[in-house]
Amino acid sequence: MWARTLPLLLSFFVLSTVTFGQTAPAAASETPGGLFNTNVSLEESISDKGPSLGLPKQAKDDDSTTKKHKRGEFAFAPIPMINPTIGNGGGAGAIYAVKLGGKDDTSPASSIGGGGFATGRGSWAFGLGGKLYLKNDRYRITVAAGGGEFVYNFFGIGTDAGAANISIVLNQRSRAFLIEPKVRVFRHWYVGPRYHHIDNKVALGSSKFDPNNLPIPLPADVDFRTAALGLRVQRDSSDTPFYPRKGSILDLMADFFDPAFGADRNYRNYTLSYNKYLHIAPKDVIAVHGSMCGASDSAPFFDLCQLGMSKDIRGYQVGQYRDHRMLVGQAEYRRELFWRLGATAFAGVGSVGKDFGDMGSAEPGGGFGLRFLLAKKNHINLRADFAWGNSSRAAYVSLGEAF
């Protein structure tokens, strides 16, 4: 499951997000799939002015201004975990946001950070990385790495398998690395290559199951290396990477897995997404997200399209509904209340299928959330969301918005 979640941890979202789900007692709990997703978007410059000429007093004032402009902002939050499948435990996420470049640089704030968690059941994960905006936002560079071990439920492939709610427990160990440089080619358009490498080892994760008599066949790709050289095309007119109030983001990712790049098999993944942000009042924002995903026939089970990623639709276990195609849509109302508090309400729908012309049933999801403003300058929130799906529920805690 980790292989589908790298760019979340490996992009700024990885650095700023630690997400866990909890299902209804009758359902199995959420796979921790938001960390090494190779089809997700990885998700979201003022420095030295230089020496001044003139009187010493003026130079002193310039030094003071320089220090003020160079000051960054730090956000940290402990994150509790309550999850009946991967266990109870805790984690933490931290992010440091700072503008790079000269005083007149118009780049958004760059970010570096990390996150991790551990549970009493033996699951753990960590990740480090950064997202840099350079030279008046002409260049954008994302780089990150991480690893971990997860115990999660595997339901099979297809809508019928997810609806049957029959699963086996898998243990997956993964290590991953991602680098993605982009350059602005025209106005809000950015283009660049991306490379990621992930090692996965999957085994049956519970002694309660007889390996010779499983209700669901053990996946074939139990010891598998994925590596892809890809392309990312992005049009980003949003006003900030942390809490957008206006603008939009059109994002296309294409990953080509090949032994020449270090992979064990040839296959392809594609993701197209669109975010729109509407500032309808001084403290009110409506955010809309839609995406489509496609994976070729030879893709391993952990690199298929998976319903339940926080940015796509909330309220489902990540991976309960997975297949070679996916269509999702979600809208969220964000309201700043008072002091540092805020609230949200969201709803969405998603579906998976073998082909776009043969999608399964549409699965609805929605819920409510609370926000606590940790960093005022860049508006970095601590997010707590509670969501319900079709006979399931989930809880999410992270630094940063869902999308």
What domains lie within the chain, and their CATH numbers?
6-399 (2.40.160.50)
Report pTM: 0.80
* pLDDT for the residue 82: 65
Q: Is 103 exposed, middle or buried (0-12, 13-18, 19+ CB in 10 A)?
A: middle
Separation between Cα atoms, residue 401 and residue 211, nearest integer Å: 41
* pLDDT for the residue 61: 40
Q: Is 358 exposed, middle or buried (0-12, 13-18, 19+ CB in 10 A)?
A: exposed
Give the model confidence (pLDDT) of 54-86 as tens digits: 333 333 344 444 445 557 898 888 887 765 556
* pLDDT for the residue 319: 84
Give the model confidence (pLDDT) of 351-364 as tens digits: 999 999 889 889 99
Q: Assess contact for 332 and 396: CB atoms under 8 A.
A: no
CA diameter of the chain: 84
* pLDDT for the residue 26: 34
| pLDDT means over runs of 10, the chain (403 residues) | 40 34 36 37 32 33 47 84 68 91 87 90 90 95 94 89 87 94 96 95 79 83 89 96 95 96 93 97 96 94 88 85 95 96 96 91 93 91 90 83 92
* pLDDT for the residue 5: 42
CA angle 10, 83, 75 (to 5 degrees): 45
* pLDDT for the residue 37: 38
Sign of CA dihedral 48, 13, 342, 292: positive
* pLDDT for the residue 30: 38
* pLDDT for the residue 4: 42
Q: Helices in 222-306 by DSSP H: which ranges? A: none
User: Measured between alpha carbons, how far is residue 314 from residues 68, 97, 271, 286, 364 in Å?
Assistant: 40, 27, 18, 17, 9
* pLDDT for the residue 25: 33
Helix-, strand-, coil-residue percentages of the chain, each rounded to 5:
10, 50, 40
